Amino acid sequence: NAGVMQNPRHLVRRRGQEARLRCSPMKGHSHVYWYRQLPEEGLKFMVYLQKENIIDESGMPKERFSAEFPKEGPSILRIQQVVRGDSAAYFCASNRDRGNEKLFFGSGTQLSVL
């Protein structure tokens, strides 16, 4: 049973470009969470999705950031018009049921904005 898969592992973008980060949850998991880790910081919650629904996006910046988890395919975190401050590691976690007490994390995508 493969773990949570995130790709790409590293993503380099120039300012103003778009970044798309993909997350395939563990098999049988329908709950996906995105967290962001700034340098020398802990992870911070961004958004919680179930299949086709955004449940909690209280940690998402109001502009330029969006997330989806379609019925088929991976969850996508999309950042439009990236800026240097978006440089961070973005982690996805999944769970079979609703609940954060036992999340399975991916290895993250390191986004670098030049």
- Tell the smallest beta-carbon distance from residue 89 to other proteins (Å): 6
112 binds other proteins (CB under 8 A): no
- Residue number, 9 or 15, with CB nearest to other proteins: 9
Contact, 91 vs 35, CB < 8 A? yes
Of 108, 104, 69, nearest to 91 by C-alpha is 108
Site of tokens 């590691």: 89
Distance CA 114, CA 106 (A): 24
39 binds other proteins (CB under 8 A): no
35 binds other proteins (CB under 8 A): yes
- Of all helices (H) and strands (E), which one includes residue 91? strand 88-95
Number of residues engaging other proteins in binding (CB under 8 A): 26
Two structure tokens written together for 108: 């993250």
- Residue number, 14 or 44, with CB nearest to other proteins: 44
Binding site for other proteins (CB under 8 A): 33, 35, 40-45, 48, 56, 58-59, 89, 91, 93, 98-103, 105-108, 110
